Amino acid sequence: MSETEPTRYDFAAAEPYWQAQWQQQACFRVEDHPRDGRPKYYVLEMFPYPSGKIHMGHVRNYTLGDVVARYKRARGFAVLHPMGWDAFGLPAENAARENNADPAEWTYQNIANMRAELQRMGFSLDWSREFATCDVEYYGQQQKLFLDFWREGLVERRAANVNWDPVDMTVLANEQVIDGRGWRSGALVEKKKLSQWFFKITDYAQDLLDGLKRLDRWPERVKLMQENWIGHSQGAEVVFPLAEPVEGMASVAVYTTRPDTLFGMSFLAVAAEHPLAQAVAKTNPQAAAFIAECASQGTSEAVIEAAEKRGFDTGLRVVNPITGQSHPVWIANFVLMEYGTGAIFGCPCADQRDLDFARKYHLPVPVVVSPAKDSAPEVKDQALDGEGYIVNSGFLSGLTTKEANTRIIAELERRGAGRAVQNWRLRDWGISRQRYWGCPIPVIHCEACGPQPVPEDQLPVVLPRDVSFDRPGNPLDHHPSWRHVNCPACGRPALRETDTFDTFVDSSWYFARFTAPRAPTPTDRAAADFWLPVDQYVGGIEHAILHLLYSRFFTRAMRKTGHVAIDEPFAGLFTQGMVTHESYRDAQGRWLYPDEVIRTAEGAMHKKTGAPVTVGRVEKMSKSKRNTVDPGAIVARFGADTARWFVLSDNPPERDVEWTETGVQGAYRFLQRLARIGEEVARTGPGEASDAPAARKLRQMTHRAIEAVTQALEGFAFNLAVARLYELLNAIAAAGEAPELAAARFEAMESLVRLAAPLVPHLAEHLFTRLRPQAGLLANQDWPVADPALLAVDEVTVAVQVNGKLRGTIRLPPGADANHAIPLAKEAVAGAIGGQSIVKQIYVPDRIVNFVVKP
RNA sequence: GCGGGCGUGGUGGAACUGGUAGACGCGCUGGACUCAAAAUCCAGUUCCGGCAACGGAGUGUCGGUUCGAUUCCGACCGCCCGCACCA
């Protein structure tokens, strides 16, 4: 190394050193019941599944949360920032089946690896609170919660048509079926009837909907997605008497949002699973065949073929309670048993599906809606499903569709033929899973007494370790002794429930457990009341519905059972974008890892063979596309701060970020430059204060940066904070070594270091100890405060326009009045105005002067 | 189909309630230092014309409101996300 070469900042030594210092001084530790009077702030990132390695998504997620945590700590908050593991789930079982691994061992080993990786990133976490959901101390408390919920009537056991994932061999909740496929396996989901445990989330449908309005620090689109998912609709139930009863059924109830179109009825249609359809099938083989066909089509084909409307005329007739007319009853494949009453009345003129159906089977299409008053338009292939006026409808004719809606419901109620009802798309949450690696459902089934809760003194129900995976299905079913117990009610031999909870249950309350992770009850009320709700939750948009909705339900259920005092768990939510990368394929179409590829000016080639490589789309990092970058390798090569700086710097955190080699290099260069200049400033020392204009200018720059970075961090605009920090460093570098700038330069550098601390904490500590050797850890320091006197500006640049086009600028004291500004402005653009006359002049102080001129 | 979002240089993106479009980074170009390279430093970089001063155009397209529109309104085009035979 030559003498002129600046000393390089050795992150590989510095980062572990500062991590050890933070650890020793317990900088990030908080009490369950703090007494120091600081206001609380709870920052939480969605906890990871322990797959074995952290990925770039984790790095981004936890860096974002860590910036908030460190910033809020510096602002004087007692910050709760915990970490744990969403540790139950299928991959551990798959490892057991494929590699003969013990799921528990496999999981805890993965946790150990990932913990080390996270710690190497320097996140300001309170590791004393760590737990995994597969710890018996955690899932045992979860069993208590379940039993409390049961006692409160929030749990139900019923036989239900469930979504069965044939690959994972388990039940899926509606929320876990995406386009007819399992959210995890991607297998086509089948319908199956099973006895299942349910959480009655629908009891809270209205409340979960209403609660969204109060979540003012949630992204609009997440709230919207939840709103759509809950799917509230206002309508009416109408009862249609059957002309002749079938198997004791005298009528069919129908749900509709358009009772105003009742006069336009053409037919009635029921779902294949509807009791009436089933009854008809008993005596009518053709109907039975049609129903069987619908069932075999199932979820899968229906999705793919999208909507060939088919039906079967049962020959039955119903009477319209309003018009008295008789209509045929059909079984139709587009009517869903799960929604409404499983039956509809068909009004083809006002509903596209009904119209398609009517055209196909040559059913009448009476026109009862018109976009204009007193006209009856023709209906061909396009239904009139908008608002408008009712026509050809007796006492409803002439009313708007809205008025008619109110009117007809009143009439239905008067005649006892129907009533106003509301409907929800949200279904109860099925939580039974036929899996081993999950929290056992604490229930004992007795032939005589039915399902019984496991008594308090027999909790927790511990998952047995001595299981074998040599057969398909749930190993708990094959365990020789575990399931055999006595009934807690009658004492006779009984069987344990062998299903375990959906792992979404585990993640529905972990945020509450973090407030007192060692408490002998699910929560410690004092701790929970102090720390909850989570002030800032950070995670991926992919959890916008499932996890967040379940957590919101759980919080309400926990309030009802006395475990918490709140109903909304997450006061603030931030959903970050994905980490993406280019993908590469060789000539044979095989995916290549980024570090197997060299980018050249012309394209890309294989590092070893030099063979040409096709550069594909930039997309989410995924193992299958091999477009992943291992955080461990990046940290080893560039350091944790570089990785942190990079994921924060390029674009807004809510958007996707593309990981690029050049971007990382840039981040690394900046940090080295900061280190070098920081060391220089530290060597020069604080210097003598000076009131030279250049010094004042630099000080103003510093204090504006303090103000701007603070604003940026408050608003999650970390990319803007980064830009302001770049500017400040450039200003420091430009100030050079002039003695009269020494003090201002020192102040600027110290401020820069403090402002950068939440983003790149290790380097910031390193430079802070150089600048302020006596001051202790930067992690314990307060946030810098901008001096208002230095934020004030002495002069502003005001744009001067002629006819809205920029023609010059003038310098003015802030808030200058028009008498002062206008003449100066006129002078500045005299050439552009020339001989033209000024028709109008606009002056917005500190902003703009605009002259409107005419020749 | 329904609901929502987004279109700005070569590129990621700035631009507070309408008021100098392109902050900051990356990349690129030229230069300095070096035997050379890396690193570093300096200068330039929306496009068109011009040596320059300067002029013209410009925020997906078309139109509107306004003294003034990336920002507000309408239509269209493109991309992304969520939901979906939901009655």
A291 band by pLDDT with thresholds 50, 70 and 90: confident
A301 band by pLDDT with thresholds 50, 70 and 90: very low
Given a cut of 70, whether residue A502 has pLDDT beyond it is yes
In this structure, what token pair is assigned to residue A667?
């981040």
**How confident is the model at residue A663, as a pLDDT?**
85
Mapping DSSP to helix (H, G, I), strand (E, B) and coil, where does residue A159 land? strand
Mean pLDDT of A826-852: 88
A129 band by pLDDT with thresholds 50, 70 and 90: very high
Smallest CA–C1' separation from A665: which nucleotide?
B26
CA angle A300, A302, A306 (to 5 degrees): 130
Given a cut of 80, whether residue A667 has pLDDT beyond it is yes
Given a cut of 90, whether residue A199 has pLDDT beyond it is yes
Distance A465 CA to B15 C1' (A): 61
Q: What is the DSSP string of A645-707?
A: HHHHHSS-TTS-EE--HHHHHHHHHHHHHHHHHHHHHHHH-S------HHHHHHHHHHHHHHH
Of residues A377, A373, A590, A375, the one with CA closest to residue A365: A377
Mapping DSSP to helix (H, G, I), strand (E, B) and coil, where does residue A825 land? helix
| Measured distance CA(A398)–CA(A714) in Å, rounded | 56
**How confident is the model at residue A584, as a pLDDT?**
80
| Measured distance CA(A151)–CA(A66) in Å, rounded | 40
A703 band by pLDDT with thresholds 50, 70 and 90: very high
Identify which has the larger pLDDT, A287 or A793. Answer: A287
Residues 521-540 of A with CB under 7 A from strand B: none
Residue A485 vs residues A446, A490, A495, A540, A677: alpha-carbon distances, Å? 10, 12, 6, 43, 71
The CB-side HSE value for A809 (13 A sphere, CA atoms) comes to 8
A603 band by pLDDT with thresholds 50, 70 and 90: low
Mean pLDDT of A281-289: 92
Q: Is the CB of A700 under 7 A from strand B?
A: no
Mapping DSSP to helix (H, G, I), strand (E, B) and coil, where does residue A337 land? coil
Given a cut of 70, whether residue A834 has pLDDT beyond it is yes
Distance A3 CA to B36 C1' (A): 19
| Measured distance CA(A710)–CA(A601) in Å, rounded | 40
**How confident is the model at residue A601, as a pLDDT?**
54
**How confident is the model at residue A182, as a pLDDT?**
74
Of residues A78, A75, A273, A303, the one with CA closest to residue A177: A303
| Measured distance CA(A163)–CA(A431) in Å, rounded | 12
Of residues A572, A710, A517, A527, the one with CA closest to residue A78: A527
Given a cut of 60, whether residue A616 has pLDDT beyond it is yes
| Measured distance CA(A135)–CA(A367) in Å, rounded | 64
Smallest CA–C1' separation from A841: which nucleotide?
B67
Given a cut of 50, whether residue A733 has pLDDT beyond it is yes
Max CA distance (Å), chain A: 109
**How confident is the model at residue A600, as a pLDDT?**
62
Lowest mean pLDDT among A145-149, A287-291, A374-378: A374-378
Instruction: Give the relative orientation of helices A56-74 and A640-649 as an angle to the nearest 10 degrees.
Output: 90
Distance A831 CA to B54 C1' (A): 12
Quick: pLDDT tens for A73-83: 999 999 999 99
**How confident is the model at residue A49, as a pLDDT?**
94
Lowest mean pLDDT among A95-99, A254-258, A752-756: A95-99
Distance A806 CA to B73 C1' (A): 26
CA angle A62, A66, A72 (to 5 degrees): 150
In this structure, what token pair is assigned to residue A537?
């939750």
A305 band by pLDDT with thresholds 50, 70 and 90: very low
Smallest CA–C1' separation from A261: which nucleotide?
B87
Mapping DSSP to helix (H, G, I), strand (E, B) and coil, where does residue A187 land? coil
ipTM above 0.85, yes or no: yes
Quick: pLDDT tens for A372-430: 776 777 887 788 887 888 999 999 998 988 899 999 999 999 999 999 998 998 989 98
Given a cut of 60, whether residue A565 has pLDDT beyond it is yes
**Strand bridging mode A267-270 / A311-319:** unpaired
**Strand bridging mode A597-599 / A170-172:** unpaired
Mapping DSSP to helix (H, G, I), strand (E, B) and coil, where does residue A442 land? coil
Mean pLDDT of A535-542: 92
Lowest mean pLDDT among A156-170, A716-730, A815-829: A156-170
Beta partners for residue A402, in sequence order: none
Neighbours of A292 (CB within 10 A): 12
Given a cut of 80, whether residue A624 has pLDDT beyond it is no
In this structure, what token pair is assigned to residue A754?
């403090």
Given a cut of 60, whether residue A593 has pLDDT beyond it is yes
Element (H, E) at A104: helix A103-120
Q: What is the DSSP string of A587-626?
A: TT--EE-GGGEEE-SS-EEETTT--B-EEEEEEE--TTTT
**How confident is the model at residue A303, as a pLDDT?**
44
The sign one gets for the Cα dihedral A129, A130, A133, A134 is: negative
**Strand bridging mode A848-854 / A796-802:** parallel
How high does pLDDT run on average in chain A?
A: 89
Distance A716 CA to B20 C1' (A): 28
Q: Is the CB of A421 under 7 A from strand B?
A: no
Q: Is the CB of A841 under 7 A from strand B?
A: no
| Measured distance CA(A579)–CA(A31) in Å, rounded | 34
- Give the rounded distance of the alpha carbon of A455 from its chain centre: 37
Q: Is the CB of A303 under 7 A from strand B?
A: yes
In this structure, what token pair is assigned to residue A842?
């606009």
Smallest CA–C1' separation from A726: which nucleotide?
B24
Of residues A330, A318, A341, A322, the one with CA closest to residue A264: A322
- β strands within A257-384, DSSP E: 267-270, 311-319, 326-332, 343-346, 369-370
Mean pLDDT of A326-346: 91
CA angle A431, A43, A788 (to 5 degrees): 155
Residue pair A238/A417 in contact by the 8 Å Cβ criterion:
yes
- DSSP label of A184: T
Residues 201-230 of A with CB under 7 A from strand B: 220-221, 224-225, 228-229
Of residues A546, A550, A548, A554, the one with CA closest to residue A571: A548
Distance A6 CA to B39 C1' (A): 10
Q: What is the DSSP string of A268-281?
A: EEE-TTSHHHHHHH
Smallest CA–C1' separation from A343: which nucleotide?
B87
Smallest CA–C1' separation from A337: which nucleotide?
B86
Tell me the one-letter amino acid at A389: Y
Identify which has the larger pLDDT, A309 or A677. Answer: A677
Closest residue (Cα, C1') to B16: A711
Q: Is the CB of A801 under 7 A from strand B?
A: yes
Smallest CA–C1' separation from A341: which nucleotide?
B87
**How confident is the model at residue A92, as a pLDDT?**
92
User: Which residue matches tokens 């552009």?
Assistant: A832
Beta partners for residue A426, in sequence order: none
**Strand bridging mode A493-496 / A484-486:** antiparallel
Residue A319 backbone phi and psi in degrees, to 5: -110, 130
Given a cut of 50, whether residue A299 has pLDDT beyond it is no
Q: Residue A531: CB partners within 8 Å, gap ≥ 6? A: A40, A42, A80, A514, A515
Q: Where are the alpha helices (DSSP H) in A715-741?
A: 718-735
Smallest CA–C1' separation from A657: which nucleotide?
B12
Given a cut of 70, whether residue A171 has pLDDT beyond it is yes
- Verify cis geometry, omega within 30 degrees of 0, for the bond prior to A440: no
Q: Is the CB of A591 under 7 A from strand B?
A: no
**How confident is the model at residue A294, as a pLDDT?**
77
- Verify cis geometry, omega within 30 degrees of 0, for the bond prior to A364: no
Which positions of strand B lie within 7 Å of protein CB atoms?
Answer: 3-5, 12-16, 19-21, 23-27, 38-42, 55-57, 67-69, 81-83, 85-87
**How confident is the model at residue A363, as a pLDDT?**
93
Given a cut of 60, whether residue A306 has pLDDT beyond it is no
Lowest mean pLDDT among A124-128, A512-516, A850-854: A850-854
| Measured distance CA(A66)–CA(A43) in Å, rounded | 8
Mean pLDDT of A86-114: 93
**How confident is the model at residue A297, as a pLDDT?**
58
A11 band by pLDDT with thresholds 50, 70 and 90: very high
Mean pLDDT of A291-320: 71
